[in-house]
Amino acid sequence: MRTLAIIIALLVSGAAATAQTSAWEPMNRGLGHSYIYSLAIDPVDSLRMFCGTDAGQVYESVDGGFNWELRSSGLPPTTSGWRVGGLYLDPTDRYLLYAGFSDGPVGQRLFESRNGGASWMNIPTPNNWSVFHILPVQLTQPRLVVALGSQQGLFWTADRGEHWSSGIGATGVQCVAMHPERPAVLLAGTVGGTKPALRRSNDGGVTWLPHSMDFVKSSVGVRAITFSPSDPNTVYMGVTQGATGIEAGLYRSNDAGLTWERIYRIAEISDIAVHPRNENLIYISAIHSGVLRSKDGGRSWTTVTTGLPTTDVMRVRIAPGYPVCVFAVTLRHGAFRMVDEELREDMFTR
């Protein structure tokens, strides 16, 4: 209880003046870069988080985002345009992190830290990979699944990069999500290839089955997929469709991704965050639309952008240990935090 009290005090401190309006406040002290592409929060300690920026930098905060320190020892030299698009903090080992680059030297696009970001080691990769998503899968044979953009597909390795196997062929894979209770079940979203844009694996990423996507009428892209932590049968998916946008929006599945229904029409969803104890409480971030919240499973929505200087939001995350505290990272303006006063009682009632 004392640890929880400390986390709550630090996450809420400094926000009293804006708490009643649930406004976002900037959390950029120590950040040397304002374009942020990835964010990972420690599932055990919500005060600890990492973000990946442009110029190939990784930063850590240990006080809930108030202060950031550079954690890039061992990463390639700083170069403009080398963004850290993939960042993963292992929930079973708080010292194990992975970082993936969109660009950089050949064979140096994927890195691992075993000491909490103090130093990084290269995981060898073939060709000029553009890493979008990293997902360790803990099965009898543990493996690392890596999703690639730029029509490069999805690969996995069971020996830390000595050998790589292709799981999905030449298409841009934007996201991969794992069933919280059945780690062999994965869903992957693609952009830029032919239909279908949604794939499913039942063996931890080795083989993939195409979803018929019969709920849409033309080629679409899937940029975000999130399972509900409290009810893994509930899954949310962000669909984008460039030509007319008629199929774009947020989709919900109540059977772990087998069937889907669109619940909200919106373009360019970049991320989806689901409350850890309430599958119907959702935040979505969208390029050009900012951040929106639904408390009823997507039937109604509230725009929550007060205090945000931009609507180009790349990631939205809920602090696992204090789920009324929400973080967003943006292009050009850095990181932000909001204490959502309307939900403060939720952590005590569910």
Half-sphere exposure at residue 239, Cβ-oriented, CA atoms within 13 angstroms: 30
User: What pLDDT was estimated at residue 242?
Assistant: 56
**Centroid of chain to Cα 62:** 19
User: What pLDDT was estimated at residue 39?
Assistant: 96
Q: Which two tokens stand for residue 318?
A: 């809920």
8-state DSSP, 78: P
Find, among 329, 293, 290, 285, the residue nearest to 310 by Cα.
Answer: 290
pTM: 0.89
Alpha helices in the chain (DSSP H): 2-12, 346-349
Q: Is 306 strand, coil or helix?
A: coil
- AA identity, residue 39: L
- What CATH number does residue 162 fall under? 2.130.10.10
How far apart are alpha carbons 61 and 45 in whole angstroms? 11
User: What pLDDT was estimated at residue 7?
Assistant: 47
Starting from the edge strand earliest in sequence, which strands make up the sheet with 186-191, in order?
172-178, 186-191, 198-201, 209-210
User: What pLDDT was estimated at residue 246?
Assistant: 60
User: What pLDDT was estimated at residue 197?
Assistant: 84
Half-sphere exposure at residue 90, Cβ-oriented, CA atoms within 13 angstroms: 19
Starting from the edge strand earliest in sequence, which strands make up the sheet with 278-286, in order?
269-275, 278-286, 290-294, 302-303
Query: What is the helix (H) or strand (E) element at residue 11, kind and residue range?
Result: helix 2-12
8-state DSSP, 10: H
Q: What is the mean pLDDT of each run of 10 residues along the chain (350 residues)?
A: 46 38 90 94 94 94 96 82 89 92 82 96 87 89 87 90 89 92 94 76 93 64 94 94 70 94 92 95 94 95 95 95 92 94 57
Q: How many CB atoms lie within 10 A of CB 73?
A: 12
Owner of token pair 């194990």? 96
Domain membership of residue 142 as a residue range: 2-349
Owner of token pair 């690639």? 148
User: What pLDDT was estimated at residue 345?
Assistant: 55
User: What pLDDT was estimated at residue 344?
Assistant: 65
Total tally of structural domains belonging to the chain = 1
Find, among 61, 65, 131, 140, the residue nearest to 98 by Cα.
Answer: 131
